[in-house]
Amino acid sequence: MLKQKSSPESVLPPEKEQESIAQLAQILSRESAQPKLVTSNGEEILIPESVCNILRQAVQAMASDRAVSIVRYNRELTTQQAANILNVSRPFLVKLLDEGAIPYIKVGSHRRIRFKDLIIYREQRKVMRRQGLKELTQFLQEEGFYEAGIHDIAHN
């Protein structure tokens, strides 16, 4: 089981590595590229897609001159850890659990949320927010409160 590290160490690349990082970002952004690792003795292994996704995000951030941190979580989270990830209060998260919005298990008297279930809920919430913004924008356009040609925030 993965252990959680309380304070992740951030990495900001040195200026001298920026060119190489930019090249790596360009290579990783190509959809058809299936990266592989080649060791110093010539051994090759394809990099799994889940690792590629993390690598792409990290390299893209570094290419944009941003610091990168990786936070490790247990497969099962406490209610406080889950609330922190969603950026909500613990009581609000407990309400979501009680309503059945996020599945959980009980370990003794404590609730535990699977990391996977929490991420699924977060992505569904993001989709619903975007849909709500689109509907609001459409309503405002129909009512004449939102002029065509103004940047549409619902499409970002």
Give me the residue spans of the domains in the chain: 15-63, 76-142
Yes or no: is domain 76-142 CATH 1.10.1660? yes
Average pLDDT over residues 73-92: 92
Average pLDDT over residues 88-103: 95
Instruction: Report which secondary-structure segment, H or E, holds 111.
Output: strand 110-114
Sign of CA dihedral 82, 88, 91, 97: negative
pLDDT number for residue 137: 87
pLDDT number for residue 8: 57
pLDDT number for residue 91: 96
Q: pLDDT tens digits, residue range 18-74?
A: 888 888 888 888 766 678 889 999 999 998 888 888 888 888 888 888 888 887 777
* Tokens standing for residue 14: 């040195």
DSSP string of 21-66, one letter each residue: HHHHHHHHH-TT---EEE-TTS-EEEPPHHHHHHHHHHHHHHHTT-
- pTM given for the model: 0.54
The phi and psi torsions of 110 (rounded to 5 degrees) equal -100, 140
Give the range among 3-7, 24-28, 141-145 with minimum mean pLDDT: 3-7
